[in-house]
Amino acid sequence: MYPEIEPYASGHLDTGDGNLVYWEECGNPGGKPVVFLHGGPGGGCSPSHRRLFDPSAYRIVLFDQRGCGRSLPHASVSGDLSSNTTWHLVDDMERLRESLGISRWQVFGGSWGSTLALAYAEKHPERVSELVLRGVFTLRSSEVDWYYRGGAANVFPDLWEQFTAPIAGLDGDPVELYAKLLADPDPAVHGPAAVAWSTWEGATGTLLPRPELVADFAVPEYALAFARIENHYFVHNGWLEEGQLIRDAAALKDIPGVIVQGRYDLATPAVSAWDLHKAWPESELVIVPDAGHVYDEPGILAALLAATDRFRAQP
């Protein structure tokens, strides 16, 4: 990765509906604009995300999506997510782009960030110079069913038992059952549920176990915002029609793009990247043979850096 850098500008974007979205800029103020979209939803950005781009070539924009990271109000404090939807986030991106005086930017997103990148690019293709996607997730019901309704339990039965412990003995859809726990005002109820939800992703996202990553996902404040926002999106199917992002991929035909996918990604299995590539044949699909889901597994990281390096000199 590129060396550690600090922002040269940062602030909070007032969305006009009570949300203040944290943003920052790093790298070269006169460079090629790129916007980084974090995962989750609800994950937030970290300093390491700045290091995916050549700081001498890129004007790097990062922002924490509504309710998480350094954005306000934080979902660990406020449970009101009524103005937190996919299309609110797409509008936030446009508002941020305009406020920074950027005409077009490269859009880089992994996991949920790939979902948001596709939603944005299909709505505003004229504003996207390139797409770099990792661990493709399109919020089709089959994808959520696999990871949150028992499919992945066939691979991780021990971790699935930990994930379902808070809802053990209850009948119903795990996503809906978790929604009730996470909305409960009692910290003794929503706290353990949030940690169980969040650590499921931290524990299953890598090809080999990484206890330090699981520990990060288990931090209570992070876990509560992450779980509440992610569950909220899944309960509402991301405010997308079934299969919408694959269906509308023809809107991307004039946008150069690279899709990086771990072969053994069990959070967002490779079939979604494959289906997107078929619907968007102009894209390049890179399947990493020895990787899971997270961006900094060696093969995935190498492919992402190769993509951003390749695009850095293109207008």
The ranges of the chain with pLDDT < 50 are none
- Which residue in 232, 265, 272, 283 is the catalytic one? 265
Tokens in use for 189? 């109820």
Residues 6+ apart with CB under 8 A from 47: 4
What's the confidence (pLDDT) of residue 37? 98
Alpha helices in 81-210 (DSSP H): 86-99, 112-123, 141-148, 157-164, 174-183, 187-204
Active site residue 38: no
Q: Which residues pair with 259 in a beta bridge?
A: 133, 285
Phi and psi for 36 in degrees, rounded to 5?
-100, 130
111 is catalytic: yes
Q: How far apart are CA 60 and CA 35, in angstroms?
A: 6
**Bridge partners, 128 (sequence order):** 105
What angle (nearest 5°) sits at the alpha carbon of residue 80, between those of residues 75 and 85? 85
Residue of 64, 76, 92, 111 with catalytic role:
111
How confident is the model over 143-162, as pLDDT tens digits? 999 999 999 999 999 999 99
Asked if the peptide bond before residue 211 counts as cis, ω within 30 degrees of 0, the response is no
Active-site annotation holder among 88, 190, 232, 293: 293
> How many CB atoms lie under 10 A from the CB of residue 227?
30
The pLDDT score that the predictor gives to residue 47 is: 98
Give pLDDT, residue 67: 97
pLDDT at position 305: 98
Which two structure tokens, joined as six digits, stand for 54?
């050549």
What pLDDT, on the 0 to 100 scale, is given for residue 79?
79
Give the pLDDT score at 8: 98
265 as an active site residue: the answer is: yes
Query: In whole angstroms, how far apart are CA 105 and each of 30, 94, 186, 223, 291?
Result: 13, 11, 43, 31, 28
Q: Tens digit of pLDDT for each residue in 156-212? A: 999 999 999 999 999 999 999 999 999 999 999 999 999 999 999 999 999 999 999
Q: Which residues is 133 bridged to in the sheet?
A: 109, 259
